[in-house]
Amino acid sequence: MKQLEQIAAAANFNAISVGKLSELSDYVLELGPDVKIPGKVFGGAALKATGAEFSFQMFQPGTETGFLHTHKQHEELYFFLGGSGEFQVDGQIFPVGEGSVVRVSPDGRRSVRNNGDTPLIMLCVQYRGNTFTAEDATDGNILNEPVKW
């Protein structure tokens, strides 16, 4: 089974690689002895992320999540990086493909499937909903120092 690779780390950052997106199918997420999800890997713990979680997932043609799910507090952003398929939220089904982005609130009953003929590649970012404020939008600081490579 494929493993995340640490690229670099220091006091203020961590960097990892999941590898080539075309090789995501080499990952298997084990949620228990009877629950194994092929093509999915979480990365938040490896990065030591403190405010969000993320996962990459590859759905082979004809596959799907196989269940609906919600969250207690977490909103999710789904970024589709390749392939095509369908997404479902609260019974509404719509097409997704490379370049599609879907936001789902915690209560949204969601699922995804690949009804195309190439792998559907997805990045999902999970974070606590209803926490981003107008003040957060101006949180960045541009530093007055040159970038040195």
- Say if CB 55 and CB 39 are below 8 A apart: no
Q: Which two tokens stand for residue 104?
A: 């789902």
Q: Which two tokens stand for residue 13?
A: 């950052």
pLDDT of 34 reads: 86
- Confidence band for 106, pLDDT divided at 50, 70 and 90: very high
**Structural domains of the chain, with CATH:** 5-131 (2.60.120.10)
pTM for the model stands at 0.92
Task: Give how far Cα 128 sits from Cα of 11, 74, 132, Å.
Answer: 25, 4, 9
Q: What is the CA radius of gyration of the chain?
A: 17
Q: Write the burial class of residue 72 (CB in 10 Å: 0-12 exposed, 13-18 middle, 19+ buried).
A: exposed
pLDDT per position as a tens digit, 39-75? 999 999 999 999 999 999 999 999 999 899 999 999 9
- Confidence band for 124, pLDDT divided at 50, 70 and 90: very high
As a whole number of angstroms, the distance between CA 92 and CA 123 comes to: 21
